[in-house]
Amino acid sequence: MLLVSAGPGFLAALTGVATARSLELPLLFLSGACATIDGGAGGFQDLDQCGVSRAICKAAMEVSSVEQIGSTLARAWQLAQDGVPGPVHVSLPADVLVGVSCKGTRSESQPPAAGDVPADEPILKAMAQRLRQAQRPLMIARPSAGRGAAGKALRVLARQLGIQPVITECPRGTNDLKYREVIRHYRDSDCALVVAPADFAVGFLAESVIASAGSVLHIDVPGDPRPRRVVKLHTQVSAEIALLYLVEAIAGHRPHLAEWSHLWSFPPARETPAESSSEGLHPLEVAKHVRELLEPEDIVVLDGGEFCQWIRLGLRDLPNRMLWNSKLGGIGGSIPMALGIAATGHPGRTLAFLGDGAAGYHASEFETAVRYAIPFVAIVGNDARWGAEWHLQASRYGLERTFETNLLPARYDQVACGLGAAGFHVTDVASLRDALSASLSANRPACLNVQILSARSPAVPV
């Protein structure tokens, strides 16, 4: 649940709400609003908030009376969870919030009925037959299809096919470093089951990207973009229903081609860190020493940018839960995301990785973490520039034409200290080891300001 004030507070929250939509997370987005009597008449913070949020959220609603509050909130929360999860906005006018009702409020909601047989059973049956025949099957799934009951069915189906599913969560699409050994074989697949929108994350399902001489079985939902090719089979049904059906339909199936299954049989080779120098540590060197100290229940949050792409590459084979900045590709959200995760009291530790460009957005949240005694460790890769933009400009226009992408070598460890957290300045391997050991055992908010080499990641931005 997200609760913000009207006007500027509402507007400031929209990037985070859009990120939740991209991650396909259920979110009840509650905001204050101008009093109903002043709405549209130029009242204080008068803004068509529902009109604005409707472009980002699954739906937007406004409560016009006290009696509507309970039923509206219940309906909004149900809608946020139905189908592909996402945020639903409810605008709460100031006069309604302080109003009194003698009638009481109701908050009833009816769960959606789940049929035993999908409406598109013939299409799903045909998909199952195609999967049984496939020599080189491929499975790609949207974020919500990798969680809950759908995620469990997805993993069972993948085991039946002798492969691993690819989750489309990365802002760099088919350049996702976590799956790069698999992505390079997308074209060779003879049957690709894609439970995801036909967007940039799957190369728009173009023949040049996926199953060049094979077939695509596509499952999406209304509102998703149309693919740029004619797919073999297509249906619009919930991922959970479709995957459960396919699991049952191909029960007992065994993979046909051992060489293809072998691609998914072993974890990818660990990357060898490039040589660090007096100018800073290579990001893979940072990943190497972090992974040595990670415990199974630790959660890792990755921001956007070049530094975090390297970290994703360096940690990609670990079983730890990792959260990403979503396909939307925003930066700066890792600190509040880590703070929220740590606040849930999960058994492990919480680590956030971010670049120095991202660090400036929400560094003040260290004060929040200190105030509420919420421990997490932020590792800032500092190369004194907006790394992704600098490398893009340098590669496209030349080193002499990089423009407004340099930053000062700011000491974010000192910023964190000023807000009451622990701070560590890292310039070499020895200080990195000491800082990691101290911060991960301190059980308090901490920031590592790591001087890194400005290395362009192998995952070129789309």
Write the pLDDT tens digit of every residue in 181-195. Answer: 888 899 999 999 999
Determine contact, residues 311/302, Cβ cutoff 8 Å.
Answer: yes
Q: Hey, what are 93's tokens?
A: 């006018």
What percent of the chain has pLDDT above 70? Answer: 94
CB atoms within 10 A of CB 394: 16
Q: Which helix (H) or strand (E) holds 295?
A: none
Tokens representing 205 are 């399902």
* CATH class of the domain comprising 283-451: alpha beta
Residue-level pLDDT at 275? 72
CA 155, CA 149: separation in Å to the nearest integer?
10
- At residue 42, the pLDDT reads 87
pLDDT at 173: 86
Interval 45-54 mean pLDDT: 93
Per-residue model confidence (pLDDT) at position 284 = 93
Q: Where are the alpha helices (DSSP H) in 44-168?
A: 49-53, 69-81, 94-97, 121-133, 148-161
Q: What would the two tokens of residue 335 be? A: 């600190």
At residue 132, the pLDDT reads 97
The residue ranking higher by pLDDT, 353 or 104, is: 353
- Mean pLDDT over 265-271 rounds to 61
Q: What is the pLDDT of residue 105?
A: 58
Mean pLDDT of 382-395: 92
Quote the tokens at residue 384: 């004194």
Strand ranges (E), 128-246: 137-141, 166-167, 191-195, 215-220, 233-236
d(CA 126, CA 246): 10
pLDDT tops 90 at residue 439 = yes
What is the pLDDT confidence band of residue 276, given thresholds at 50, 70 and 90? confident
For residue 237, name the pLDDT band (cuts at 50, 70, 90).
very high
pLDDT at 74 over 90: yes
Span 58-81, mean pLDDT? Answer: 96
Tokens representing 422 are 């622990």
Residues 440 and 449: their CA atoms lie apart, in Å, by 15
Give domain 2-97's CATH superfamily. Answer: Thiamin diphosphate (ThDP)-binding fold, Pyr/PP domains (3.40.50.970)
Per-residue pLDDT, averaged over 51-70, amounts to 95
Q: Looking at residue 227, what DSSP letter applies?
A: P
Residue 272 has a pLDDT of: 64
65-74, 105-114, 394-403, range with the lowest pLDDT:
105-114
266 has a pLDDT exceeding 90: no
| Amino acid 358: pLDDT | 95
Question: How far is the C-alpha of 60 from the C-alpha of 152, rounded, in Å?
Answer: 31
pLDDT at 218 over 60: yes
Q: Which residues pair with 90 in a beta bridge?
A: 30, 61
Lowest average pLDDT, out of 13-17, 29-33, 432-436, 455-459, goes to 455-459
Q: Which residue is associated with the tokens 């939307």?
A: 328
d(CA 220, CA 14): 25
Q: What is the pLDDT of residue 10?
A: 96
- For range 193-222, the mean pLDDT: 95
From 306, 305, 369, 307, select the one nearest 332 (Cα to Cα).
305
With 90 as the cut, is the pLDDT of residue 462 above it? no
Least confident of 52-66, 103-117, 121-135, 283-297: 103-117
Measured between alpha carbons, how far is 283 from 420 in angstroms, rounded to an integer?
27
CA distances from 277 to 262, 355, 388, 430 (A): 38, 19, 21, 13
Domain 121-262 classified CATH 3.40.50.720?
Answer: no
Q: Is the pLDDT of residue 376 over 80?
A: yes
Task: Give the domain ranges of the chain.
Answer: 2-97, 121-262, 283-451
Question: Could you tell me the two tokens for 429?
Answer: 């391997």
CA pair distance 332, 173, nearest whole angstrom: 19
Q: What is the mean pLDDT of residues 261-277?
A: 69
Average pLDDT of the chain to the nearest whole number: 92
pLDDT at 111: 57
- Whether the per-residue pLDDT at 411 is higher than 90: the answer is yes
On whether the CB atoms of residues 174 and 201 are closer than 8 A, the answer is yes
Query: Quick count: other Cβ atoms within 10 Å of Cβ 331?
Result: 21
| Arithmetic mean of pLDDT, 360-380 | 97
Q: Which two structure tokens, joined as six digits, stand for 38?
A: 């002043």
CA–CA separation, 352 and 339 (whole Å) = 9
Fold match between domain 2-97 and domain 283-451: yes
User: Averaging pLDDT over each range in 106-110, 135-139, 176-180, which range is the top one?
Assistant: 135-139
